[in-house]
Amino acid sequence: MQRIDAHQHFWRLDRGDYGWLTAELAPLYRDFAPGDLQPLLQRHGVAQTVLVQAADSTAETDFMLELAASHDWIGGVVGWVDISDRASIATLERWAREHPKFKGVRPMLQDLPEDDWIATRPHADVMACIAALGLRLDALVLPRQLEPLLHFVRRHPTLPVVIDHAAKPRLDEGWSAVWAHAWRRDMAALAAHPNLMCKFSGLLTETRSSEPLPLIRPAWEDLLRWFGPQRLVWGSDWPVLNLAADYGRWVALSDSLLGDLNAADQQRVLHDNAREFYTL
């Protein structure tokens, strides 16, 4: 079975632009480079990856694009610009012109103080530029930001959007907690929009459990019912994944869930959807 990892990161601490990355996150507080990931990809049959931003700086996107240019297996880069600032258009146009692996942008919505930022702040000219360049938008949101994201998606019905990590459901609190109803309501409403996809990634770090499968399975079943295998995209969220488990454990756990699908649908989730969404 061919596989694309549609969500992974690299960083170098001395760059100094990872404001969220502190020594308290000990498993992550070191450099992570292509040489760290490539053996894992080879071991698990991953042919390509999508490298996603981890800092709210254009300099980090330049750094990622340089890495992608020198590693064939990095199939695409999702970078960062301030989509509320019209001056970002020049940066987007430069990246699109100079770097064929530049595929999309990701505002770090989960870290912004305004939950409704995505519904109110993006500049219309920047969004028009993103659409004209054929780029995608990764939505890094938490459950409380799903309703504003719904307003954004309604305003941009043809823009390809993917929800990262299924919006990080609070699996550690259990399915009887108050978050679950609103998450299910809002995710189902978003899935009704055909321009929207969802990444099946990042869920191990939300369980904080030694037995994560019973917590993740209901999320998988919901996502499969709402999005179908045609609009789900597999990713690892490595190295953030290291907070919960290693790469092989996530491969094994996700494969056990995908095992209920036929071979063609497994191939869509593990490979084809990412290739088509990001035009790899």
> How many Cα atoms within 13 Å fall on the side-chain side of residue 227?
30
DSSP state of 47: E
Which backbone phi and psi does 28 adopt, to 5 degrees? Answer: -105, -10
Parallel, antiparallel, or unpaired: how do β-strands 3-8 and 136-139 relate? unpaired
Question: pTM of the predicted model, to two decimals?
Answer: 0.97
Q: What span, in angstroms and rounded, lies between the C-alpha atoms of 31 and 116?
A: 33
Model confidence at 112: pLDDT above 90: yes
Q: What is the predicted pLDDT for the residue at 209?
A: 87
Mean pLDDT of 213-229: 97
Nearest to 164 by CA among 185, 190, 189: 190
Q: Helix or strand or coil: residue 238? A: strand
Q: What mean pLDDT is predicted for residues 259-263?
A: 96
Q: Is the pLDDT of residue 6 over 90?
A: yes
Q: Which of 39, 44, 78, 41 is nearest to 61 (CA)?
A: 78
pLDDT at 208 over 90: no
**Span 65-80, average pLDDT:** 98
Average pLDDT for 54-83: 98
Count of Cβ atoms closer than 10 Å to residue 227 Cβ: 23
- If you average pLDDT over residues 214-238, what whole number do you get? 98
pLDDT band at 14 (very low <50, low <70, confident <90, very high): very high
pLDDT at 1 over 90: no
Counting Cα atoms < 13 Å in the Cβ hemisphere of 102 gives 24
pLDDT, one tens digit per residue, over 16-42 is 999 999 999 999 999 999 999 999 999
Instruction: Please name which of 123, 203, 193, 192 lies closest in space to residue 164, comparing C-alpha atoms.
Output: 203
Bridge partners of 48, per DSSP, are 4
* Mean pLDDT, the chain, integer: 97
What's the pLDDT tens digit per position in 55-66?
A: 999 999 999 999
Q: How confident is the model at residue 221 (pLDDT cuts 50, 70, 90)?
A: very high
Q: 277 falls in which pLDDT band (50, 70, 90)?
A: very high
Q: How many CB atoms lie within 10 A of CB 86?
A: 13
What residue type is assigned to position 95 of the chain?
A: W
Average pLDDT over residues 203-227: 96
Tokens 């880069």 sit on residue? 77
- Domains of the chain are 3-277 (3.20.20.140)
